[in-house]
Structure 1
Amino acid sequence: MTVTCRKATESDVDSLYDIIQSYAEKGIMLPRSKEALGRHIDTFVIAEYEGRFVGCGSLFRLGQDLVEIRSLGVTDGYKGQGIGRKIVSFLTEEAKANRIPKIMALTYEVAFFEKNGFTVVPKEIFPEKVWTDCVHCKKQNNCDEIAVMKRLD
C-alpha cells in the first residue's frame, strides 16, 4: 500500500471537516469549523491512497520552540495500516525543517505515539496549549487526554 502525504489545499476543507467531525462526535477530537480549517489550511497535511483522502493531521505552532500535532485521524477502513505513522513522520520532518525542538500531542492513543518516539509528560508543562485550545474545551476541568512529547534537537 503506497500512501503519500502532501500539504493540504483549500479544496481539502470538506474532507478535513468530515473526518475531524467524525472523531469529534465520538468525543476524541476537538471539532473544527470549516471556516477555521480554511484559516489554518497551511498547517494541515493530507494522506492519500490511490487519489483518495485516507487521513490527516495538523502541525500547530504553540510557541517559538513548541508545535503540537493535532487533528490526527485516519478514515474508517484504513486504520492499522501505517497511515498515522506516515502522517506523524511527515509532520515531524516539517518541525525539524523549521528548527522547532519540541513536538507534543494530547492523545488517547499513547501506545501509538510511544511507538513513534514520544514519551508521556505532564500536561501542565504546556501552558501554551491550555490558553489556545483547552479554554474552549468542554473537558477543560476534567481532561482525560494524555500529553506526549518528542524532542527533535
Structure 2
Amino acid sequence: MIRKAKIGDVRAIHGLLSAFGDRNLLLPRSLSELYDHLRDFTVYEDEAGAVGGVAALHICWEDLAEIRSLAVREDLQHHGVGRRLVEHCLSEAVTLGIYRVFTLTNRPEFFKKLGFGPVDKATLPHKVWADCVKCARFPDCDEVALLLEL
C-alpha cells in the first residue's frame, strides 16, 4: 500500500535511508530533518505493515518540485514499488499545481523509464544545492539531474 508517511514511520524511514546513505546511494537524512519534513514523505507499506519503501516530494519553488530520498528495501526491488512511489509523488505535484519535477540521481535509467529527461544542473535554482553541501561527494557530485514536465 502507498500512503503518506506518519509520525510512527520516521524511525523506519530513517533506517532505510541510512542503509542506502551508508552505501553512498543517496543523501542520508537526520531524524530531525525527517520530523521537520514528514509531510514531504510517502511510504510503501508491505503486507506485514512495515515500511518497505519511501520517497519524498520536496517543493522548491512555485513551479518546481524535487523527488528525493527514494529508497526501496532490497527484497522489494524490481517489483514496481519505486515506480509506484514516484507516480504517487508526481500525482501529488499535479494536485498541488506543480508541473515541473526534477530529481538528482545516480540511477538515471530508472527515472528515464518514467519519462524524465536530462537537464543541466545549472538551470536548477540555487536553493536546490543547500542539501549538496551535506553530501560526502560534494563538490565532486556524480548525480545526474533529470526533469519531467507534467
Please classify the TM superposition score into its range, dividing by the shorter chain length: over 0.9
Superposition RMSD on alpha carbons, in Å? 1.0
Q: Structure 1 residue 139: deviation in Å? A: 2.0
What secondary structure does 1:30 align onto? Answer: coil
Residues in 2 aligned to 1:76 and 1:136: alpha-carbon distance in whole angstroms? 25
Distance between the aligned counterparts of 1:34 and 1:17, measured in 2? 6
> What is the CA distance between 1:28 and its match in structure 2?
1.5
Post-superposition offset of 1:138: 2.9
| Pair 1:140 & 2:138 matched | yes
Q: Which amino acid aligns with 1:120?
A: P
- Alpha-carbon shift at residue 151 of structure 1 (Å): 0.5
Residues of 2 paired with 1:151 and 1:46: CA distance? 23
Q: Any idea what SS the aligned residue of 1:77 has?
A: helix
Where in structure 2 are there 5+ consecutive unaligned residues?
none
Give the alignment of 1:83-102 within 5 angstroms.
83-102=81-100
Match of 1:22 among 19, 33, 37: 19
Specify the code of the residue in structure 2 equivalent to 1:128: K
Partner of 2:127: 128
Name which of structure 1's ranges 134-143 and 85-94 shifts more when overlaid on structure 2. Answer: 134-143
What is the one-letter code of the residue matched to 1:30? L
For 2:86 and 2:8, the matched residues in 1 are separated by: 22
- Cα distance in 2 for partners of 1:136, 1:48 equals 29
Which amino acid counterpart does residue 47 of structure 1 have in structure 2?
Y
Q: Identity across aligned pairs (percent)? A: 34
CA distance in 1 between partners of 2:134 and 2:106 (Å): 19
Write out aligned runs for 1:77-88 (5 A). 77-88=75-86
Contact 2:133 2:139 in 1 (8 A): no
5+ long unaligned stretches in structure 1: none
| 1:29-44 alignment runs, 5 A limit | 29-44=26-41
TM-score w.r.t. the length of structure 2 is 0.95
| Runs of 4+ deviating beyond 6 Å | none
Q: What SS does the aligned partner of 2:19 have?
A: helix
- Counting matched residue pairs gives 148
